[in-house]
Amino acid sequence: MSIQVTPTALSDVKLIEPKVFGDARGFFFESFNAREFETQVQPGVEFVQDNHSRSVKGVLRGMHYQIEHAQGKLVRVVEGAVFDVAVDMRRSSPTFGKWTGVELSADNHKQLWIPPGFAHGFVVLSDAAQFQYKTTDFWYPEYERCLLWDDPAVGVAWPIDFEPTLAAKDAAGKSLSEAECYD
């Protein structure tokens, strides 16, 4: 197998570590293999969209989710490093309102699978970062919601010692008690 899959503190969110083949010329790894994803990560997933963003140090994007047309996301970093976070937004889940986070970087090649039903966001730790991700549904701006990135009820321990740069929609995120959630 070319990937190692490890559940995070939220067992539905999975850390994926590909086998990287490297030598003096550089490296090679499979960034996605549908068969392995189906058998080791999540069966029945179909990705419909790929997204790519670039951000500078201190930018925090998130915590985004779609209340309808919920998106699963397979995320990775191809330049730089980020701290990536998922928050369980499913009221019926025993981990509702809990979070997990992991550093993703171009150097460690790790990926994170965030299934539908979770808010997602990241903060850039390096001078710049390019972030790529696959989604299981299309973006519908009318259904996009934003959980407040620093909601004390969730308590994400962002590994930063600075005030992050936020988009207006992220700064206006809702607290968990006010946010629309999944059943």
Catalytically annotated residues: 64, 133
Report d(CA 163, CA 160) in Å as an integer.
Answer: 8
- For tokens 């960034």, the residue is 31
Report d(CA 173, CA 168) in Å as an integer.
Answer: 9
